[in-house]
Amino acid sequence: MEPVGTVRRSSFVTFAGVLAVVVGFFNGIAGIAAISKDDSLEASAHEVLFGIDYTTWGWFWLILGIVQIGIGGLILARHASGLLLGVVWASLSLILTVFVIFVYPFWALAVIGINILIIWGLLENADEFTG
């Protein structure tokens, strides 16, 4: 029995927030690796970058990773902007993943599935978020 005045918190929203932080951390590391000219990443980069400079691509992913960590914090805090930004971020990630699906098909399908789970989990429990 829950004490009076407590708010039930969905574990799915917590999952979405933690996942946003973890993915942001990984994207930040990938950005740093691209900026530092990691040979293993550079070997497969020509298939994905569509003519974009490798260092620019690294800065993009580093900044995106930092933003994703911030969004994850807002989701974990159940802030209304976390709901909006989380759904927008997962939707954009889902759309952008289409660009690499032919190069990394299994990874892309996993990312698409995770993004769908995040969007569903956030929207299903939208009443937990406060303004």
3-state secondary structure 92-107: HHHHHHHHHCCCCHHH
Domain count, the chain: 1
77 domain residue, yes or no = yes
The structure's pTM equals: 0.79
123 domain residue, yes or no = yes
59, exposed or middle or buried, with CB in 10 Å at 0-12, 13-18, 19+? middle
Q: Which pLDDT value is given to residue 98? A: 83
28 domain residue, yes or no = yes
Whether the predicted pLDDT of 86 surpasses 80: yes
1 domain residue, yes or no = no
91 domain residue, yes or no = yes
46 domain residue, yes or no = yes
Tally Cβ neighbours within 10 Å of residue 34: 23
- pLDDT-derived band at 52 (thresholds 50, 70, 90) equals low
Percent pLDDT > 90 in the chain is 31
- pLDDT-derived band at 87 (thresholds 50, 70, 90) equals very high
Q: Which domain holds residue 58?
A: 11-128
